[in-house]
Amino acid sequence: MKNRLYQLDKPLVALSGGIASGKTSVSQSLQKSGLAVICADALVHQAYRMQSVKEQIAQIAPSALKEKSKEQSSEKNIDFKELRKLFFNDPIIKEKIEKLIYAQLPALFQAEAIKHKSYSFLIYDIPLLFEKKKQDEFDAIILVSCHPQQQLQRLIQRDQIDEQLAQKILKAQIPIEEKRQMADYVIDNSRTWQETQKQVDELILKLRARYQ
């Protein structure tokens, strides 16, 4: 595959899903089953811990850096609550922060991929796969799905937010039904976890048959 994400030299399968659809639980189940899973969110968290990134955020959004303690006044940590507020209220800051973080991901991904070099294929847990138009850079796509109304209620319950805010968050993403049309494998997480796990087990057999 010529245009595979980060020029990986082995098959790469994307794992995605709408917010509150159950993707994280499926990702954890795949890992427990012995598959190699790299999590995009974990890479982003690594990026934010890098000193060079903190220094650049201090230039972009100075108020988002807070002193660690009175005893360690020279060291600062990112105040993510403040950064999130700036991120969603200032388009220029949002663009700069995204560009900064995404610039770190190729090296962080490759470092994780090396740790899994003995595996015949990798799974990349990437929440905004379709929103970032990355679907053509993968050998296959797994989508974790549930009914839109169920997704709404799970989001409200999980994040303890009102329906108005939950609707706003969902509208910022591509509808789950559209994503289903672009996926190679769909895990329906609308019913019990036992039923979802059965689908995950069947999927694992398919992936191993295809890529091992």
Q: For residue 133, what is the domain's CATH number?
A: 3.40.50.300
In a domain, 138, yes or no: yes
In this structure, are 173 and 140 located in the same domain?
yes
pLDDT at 212: 86
The pLDDT value recorded for residue 70 is: 54
Place 60 in a pLDDT band, splitting at 50, 70 and 90: very high
Give yes or no: residues 89 and 156 share one domain: no
Residues 167 and 191 in one domain: yes
**Co-location of 141 and 154 in the same domain:** yes
Q: Is residue 2 part of a domain?
A: no
* Domain closes at, from 103, 125, 153: 103
Q: Is residue 1 part of a domain?
A: no
Task: Render pLDDT for 28-46 as a digit per residue (tens, 0 to 9).
Answer: 999 999 999 999 999 999 9
Stronger pLDDT, 18 or 50, i.e. the higher one: 50
State the pLDDT at residue 73.
47
Q: Are residues 54 and 148 both part of a single domain? A: no
Q: Residue 179 above 90 pLDDT?
A: yes
Could you say which of 76, 103, 130 is where a domain stops? Answer: 103
- In-domain check, residue 189: yes
Q: What is the pLDDT of residues 149-161, one digit of tens each?
A: 999 999 999 988 8
pLDDT for the residue 135: 96
Average pLDDT for 162-172: 86
> Is residue 5 in some structural domain?
no
Residue 97 has pLDDT above 70, yes or no: yes
Average pLDDT value for the chain:
92
Residue 193: pLDDT over 80: yes
Same domain flag for 32 and 132:
yes
DSSP string, the chain: -TT-GGG-SS-EEEEEE-TTSSHHHHHHHHHHTT--EEEHHHHHHHHHH-HHHHHHHHHH-GGGEEES-STTTT-EEE-HHHHHHHHHH-HHHHHHHHHHHHHHHHHHHHHHHHHTTTSS-EEEE-TTTTTTT-GGGSSEEEEEE--HHHHHHHHHHHHT--HHHHHHHHHTS--HHHHHHH-SEEEE-SS-HHHHHHHHHHHHHHHHHHH-
Output the pLDDT for position 101: 96
Output the pLDDT for position 150: 93
Number of separate domains in the chain: 2
Residues 141 and 194 grouped into a single domain: yes
- Is beta strand 76-78 parallel, antiparallel or unpaired with respect to 65-67? antiparallel
Range of the domain at 161: 11-36+116-212
